[in-house]
Structure 1
Amino acid sequence: YMMYHLTQDQLAHIIFPLGRTYKKDTRRISKEKGLPTYNKAESQDICFLTSESSYVEFLRNHAPEAFRSGNIVDKKGRVLGQHRGIPYYTIGQRKGLGIAARTPLYVTALRPDKNQVVVGDNDDLFRTRLLADELHFTDGEAPAEEFRCQAKIRYGIKVHDCTVTLERNGRAVVKFDEPQRAITTGQSVVFYDDDRLIGGGTIMRAL
């Protein structure tokens, strides 16, 4: 997934020490060799954090200005409540909003420029199109100005059929055949041709 950033020259020099060894076998071998990390918990957050326990704590220490309280609004701009700071929220989040509503509410958008968290119904999370920039293709160039492929909008999910259309400003519009849930600004959208990685880019916003 994240290897779409790499060039052919970089890929030609990569060596994966574990090869085809599965994680469970790596842990077993580590235990047999007496390595103290054989049963260490897996990293589910930013792996380079040491003293801080989470990315939220890291941001609190290094970017405290991001933790300004602000309004939680619906898609029409009506104020429904207050948030504790945008870093506490992610697209698709349901719990911890602190809003009483007749139907479940989800975070559908984050607006740092207005310091707003936007909420809506689950249906509001589904979009078929997104805009991406910072494009990179592993072959050095895109297959065509418009091409069919499969793509995923985050790690750990299945790929979905889509059409990628390049724009002259270095951006691309990705149109999925089926709606995708919780397209998130800043995540990577990565393109595949069956099991071959083509490239990818950074999601600017859902369209």
Structure 2
Amino acid sequence: MSRKEKVVVGMSGGVDSAVAAWLLKEQGYEVIGVTMQIWQDEEEEVLEENGGCCGLSAVEDARRTAQILEIPHYVMNFKADFKRAVMDYFVAEYLAGRTPNPCIACNRYVKWEALLKRSLEIGADYIATGHYARIKQLENGRFCLSRSVTAKKDQTYALYNLTQEQLSHTLMPVGDYSKEEIRSMAEKIGLSVADKPDSQEICFVPDQDYAGFIEGVTGKPSQEGSFVKADGTVLGRHKGIIHYTIGQRRGLGLPMGRRVAVTEIRPETNEVVIGEQEDVWTDMLLADRLNWMSVPDLTEDRKAAAKIRYNHAGTPCTIWKTGPDQIKVQFHEPVRAVTPGQAVVFYDGEDVLGGGTIL
């Protein structure tokens, strides 16, 4: 390259983004490390307690990595963007009886939209992350995500909502390697994060008490209501709809004498519907808030493989467009616990066709 292209690497403090920065430097890019402060309180105890991708310890780990790699490192404050696009959305979805996916919202609106805008403003050509996914440009000119080389770490599901503009300015060097190879590289170049555990669950709810977090944000306790059958027959009392999600079997506290599951949440009547195990299986769903990736739009019925949650292997399906921003998905075999608010992501072989939000 005649001039060094500049790339801003989102350094989370973990091993993946650290090695991503090293790989890009080795490839000849001018690399700048940036750690995003998005929700953290400036308190020492939070620093000690949260070692995940977004905890305050991430800043120190990323800074040490940048020193070893001899690249500049900056901390950028995106707390307002994160609160609006992720935390407020998270609370609103649970109160509406849906199950949100905050990582997808964070990827689209904070890690990409906000970071990319700021990076382009300072003269960068690209941003990069340590996600396990690959980006390629298809013959039709569109950019799309392709699965990483290691299926068990593939993160394309959580990235399906990225736009063409965002993809065209993004590099994902880690997607060509396995986790074991990434850790081996980190160890070889002397990075202290080589053995750092992967972050888990939702970063801004460290104790994973989602209901407690929502009560704290809203200042209102959960409103108790009725467990009911589909026909409205009352079975007992629940702790509040924010404590439940579709398919949930544990923690219901119902003396039914058999295993039952949540099949529907009715926020308008504050009811949680309980059914049999077979009731949480279906072969159809509707989705909206669509983002097409490898194609500009769906112009005809299309066969694909669909994932309805991050750890879902994927199920063959047929997709019909039923409106300007709505589709119907017919699975070729039943799937368990289709959950409103979660994403459905479609694959054409290894490539992401697109996706949407389950209704």
Distance 1:171 1:142 in 2: 12
- The answer as to whether partners of 1:7 and 1:139 remain within 8 angstroms in 2 is no
- The answer as to whether partners of 2:224 and 2:240 remain within 8 angstroms in 1 is yes
Q: CA RMSD in A?
A: 2.2
Rg larger for = 2
Distance 1:82 1:56 in 2: 17
Distance 1:74 1:129 in 2: 21
Equivalent positions of 1:29-40 (< 5 A) are 29=186, 32-35=190-193, 38-40=195-197
Does the alignment pair 1:148 with 2:303? yes
Shift of residue 104, structure 1, vs aligned partner: 1.2
* Structure showing the higher helix proportion among its residues: 2
Q: Matched residue of 1:109: which SS? A: strand
User: What is residue 201 of structure 1 aligned with on the other side?
Assistant: 356
Does the alignment pair 1:89 with 2:247? no
Distance 1:168 1:143 in 2: 11
- The answer as to whether partners of 1:69 and 1:83 remain within 8 angstroms in 2 is yes
Shift of residue 126, structure 1, vs aligned partner: 0.7
User: For each residue in 1:63-88, what CA deviation from the matched residue of structure 2 results, as whole angstroms up to 9, or x when unmatched?
Assistant: 34471111011111111111111121
Aligned residue among 94, 102, 110 for 2:257: 102
TM-score by length of 1: 0.86
Residue 213 of structure 2 aligns to which amino acid in structure 1? F
Residue 127 of structure 1 aligns to which amino acid in structure 2? T
User: What is residue 117 of structure 1 aligned with on the other side?
Assistant: 272
Shift of residue 195, structure 1, vs aligned partner: 1.1
Does the alignment pair 1:166 with 2:316? no
- The answer as to whether partners of 2:249 and 2:259 remain within 8 angstroms in 1 is yes
Ranges in structure 2 where 5+ consecutive residues have no aligned partner: 1-156
Shift of residue 5, structure 1, vs aligned partner: 1.0
Ranges in structure 1 where 5+ consecutive residues have no aligned partner: none
Shift of residue 60, structure 1, vs aligned partner: 2.0
Alignment identity in percent?
A: 39
CA separation of 1:141 and 1:202: change in aligned 2, threshold 3 A? same
Equivalences, count: 200
Does the alignment pair 1:53 with 2:53? no
Residue 192 of structure 2 aligns to which amino acid in structure 1? G
Shift of residue 120, structure 1, vs aligned partner: 0.7
Q: Matched residue of 2:160: which SS? A: helix
The higher relative CO (CA closer than 8 Å, separation ≥ 6) is in 1
- The answer as to whether partners of 1:27 and 1:39 remain within 8 angstroms in 2 is no
Distance 1:134 1:74 in 2: 30
Does the alignment pair 1:132 with 2:277? no
More deviation, 158-167/54-63: 54-63
